Chain A
Amino acid sequence: MTALLYLFLGLACFAALVGLTRVVAETESHE
């Protein structure tokens, strides 16, 4: 069960990185 939490923590990091990519891409379209 704890292992699953750690797995989700790793996937949350990847989700945050995808989010960062989208945010940076957004700034591109605004400028």
Chain B
Amino acid sequence: MKHTLAVLVENNPGVLSHVAGLFARRGYNIESLAVGHTDDPSVSRITLVVEGDEQVIEQVSKQLNKQVEVIKVNDITNEETVDRQLLLLRVAADTAIRQDILQLVEIFRCRIVDIGRRSLIVEATGDEEKIEAIIKSMQPFGIQELVRTGKVAMVRSPK
């Protein structure tokens, strides 16, 4: 099962390689990773998606917690969260099919951020499912380049 971990770390040089190195040497695989500093510039938040059963995730969390630079590890998998990925996608778009692409962009509520002679760049944000759906629907037109970020997530406030 995929788990989402929100890890607060000291914003020191090298901290990301420490965390990534820990995963590599303990034999855990990182599915996706996103990092950036928080409202406090001395603290960074790493959002990790890790595949593994309960025991693996417990071990991952404990090993992370042992690191001097790790402040807090939160497994937010079972929390109500808002999670987002960012996608940039260059799709082949001859004039003949441009209209079809624009229609899809409309439906998925993404945006065209660059128009070239024979291609378009589409920008989308959304959760994993939405991003996957957009990619799938664009595939028939010919995806020329694709880049996406790791997931970032935030726990919803109590209602």
Query: Do A and B make up one complex?
Result: no
- Give A residues with C-beta under 8 Å from B: none
